[in-house]
Structure 1
Amino acid sequence: MSESRTSSVETPRVNTGVAHNARVWNYWLGGKEHDEVDEQVGGHVAGMFPVIRDVARADREFLGRAVRFLAAERGVRQFLDIGTGLPTVDNTHETAQRIAPASKVVYVDNDPIVLAHARSLLTSSPEGVTDYIDADVHDVDAIVERAAATLDFDEPVAVMMLGILNFVLDTDTACDIVRRVMNAVPSGSFLALTHPTFDADLGGEGNVAAMAFWNENATPPITARPRAEIAAFFEGLDLVEPGLVSCAQWRPDTGAPGAVPQFGAVALKP
């Protein structure tokens, strides 16, 4: 019997007067869940940094490839998706359960915009389970405790942290969050992560001005990081080939795609 549940029953109040990352990201992806202010700010950022639309698409495509790799090649049947974002197509549970219908997926976000759309995430194959937790990424203990109602932390878990640590502005704090989450999952678990960069070799210089504009005109504030700081998130883990690369170039389905200024990697907890 399939299960779909959410830890909140109250419809949140959403501020549509300020551009918000979840809606702007949806706009860049070509979705419909955004407002005029999101189009204005998102369009301005795209004018300053045209590759941002490619980044959004590449990040989403990385999610699909990573989940397929973890479910099909590594046999992972549990996913903890922290920083879910607005639901689109081929969400984590849809991709995982297409390969392994009994997969269990827990989504985590504390964004009222995402929570308002959480019911769209709460679908499942008859054999599987999906859940949604309204929690802040900083509150690792609460995330783990509540996810344990769905996931078995004695069995491997794939922790998905795509485009979430860039909203944790202090790098030491971001590293501590990753360390605590990965300490909670057993050997044989994985971390899949993406993160924007300023690094010039991936074309990230344009992020500097674009993010400054974003932080003055939208919410939440964001930061990019160099390769070395992003690599530190994987300390103690074994990177899966090809390692830490532009997310567009991580195990691409076809051809040799160009780089986008967004790192991506998957790593195993030994």
Structure 2
Amino acid sequence: MTKEPQITDSHCHLDFPDFEGQLGAVVARAADAGVTRMVTICTRLRNEPAVRAIAEAHAPVFYAAGTHPMSAAEEPMTSVDELVQLSQHPKFVGIGETGLDYHYTSESAKLQKQSLRIHIKAAQATGLPLIIHARAADDDMARILTEEFRNAPYSCVMHCFSSSTALARAALDLGFYLSMSGIAAFPKSMELREIFASASVDRILVETDAPYLAPPPHRGKRNEPAYTAFTARVGAELFGMDYADFAAQTQTNFERLFSKAADYKAAA
């Protein structure tokens, strides 16, 4: 058993080809680094069976599923009923990732917004947290999240947060969470670190978004869940906390938001 403080990689993509045939070793390296739990994210619902199988095969792995905004024009539009049905699996712990991305796919903005609202309604129906991808769409994102929250409350994490102070504030005002990825550890991300530092530490999660966005000293290489520890150490410095204390706080935060994962652990 690792002696490193335990943390959770709250967002990774273990079904991507980068990890093919290597998952056993990847999960073992994560455990050695103190990353004893991870949530792998399905971004196209046609791939849900494969992502589910990964969670079923590896005890520390949970999963979530949705339609990524950059795929909204390519995939069949999901329904609330479909997402609710998928959520019945005991290791299915979140709705998404969903959201808005106008940087690469602004031409599908209308479809993205339609898909986002469907995912929000599924989060409201299931009580599971919504997992949001936001890029170059801050105004629409803040407006839709707020409108839907006023209709019916739900919980949410702004995954791999790298947007504006205004969107961070809108999310935090709704009681949502901000997740630190390797971007927050990049030397030039001082403004982003200031946004995180302005938040309450009880609203912070850590993640890799693996295989993307590896933090230093692995920047530019394939990311993997073990590297969550490098980002978490930056987070500890940012909040002026001992690493063990910061790790424990992010664990508490994760289990508060992803309560189904916490309950599964308790029942195991």
Answer yes or no: same fold by TM over 0.5.
no
Instruction: Provide the TM-score with structure 1 as the length reference.
Output: 0.36
Instruction: Provide the TM-score with structure 2 as the length reference.
Output: 0.36
